[in-house]
């Protein structure tokens, strides 16, 4: 499996407040970004996999909504996560 418990804890520890902080917007955005990168590679290899393409589109939408929420609530946290993940180039 591409995403095991140790990898999740690493992501949450790096971008969240702690390794058990699974609910903060930053940690969720980081997790979605990791999953989006994995699914993007899969779709590049399997271009006829429409189910995964749809899942990827939904995941990008979820991340976009979380980023919009973070932008409205605290723009400094938004800028920090964008810079850390390298989303807006």
Neighbours of 84 (CB within 10 A): 14
pLDDT of 44 over the 90 cut: yes
Evaluate if pTM is beyond 0.75.
Answer: yes
Closest-CA residue to 80 (of 18, 72, 71): 71
Gap between the Cα atoms of 57 and 19, Å rounded: 27
Please give the average per-residue pLDDT across 40-66, as a whole number: 96
Q: How confident is the model at residue 54 (pLDDT cuts 50, 70, 90)?
A: very high
Burial of 15 (0-12, 13-18, 19+ CB in 10 A): buried
């Amino acid at each position: 499996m591409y995403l095991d418990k140790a990898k999740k804890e690493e992501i949450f520890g790096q971008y969240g407040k702690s390794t058990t902080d699974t609910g903060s917007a930053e940690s969720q955005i980081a997790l979605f970004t990791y999953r989006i990168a994995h699914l993007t590679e899969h779709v590049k290899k399997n271009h006829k996999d429409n189910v995964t393409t749809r899942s990827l589109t939904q995941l990008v939408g979820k991340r976009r909504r979380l980023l919009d929420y973070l932008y409205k609530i605290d723009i400094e946290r938004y800028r920090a996560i964008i810079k850390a993940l390298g989303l807006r180039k």
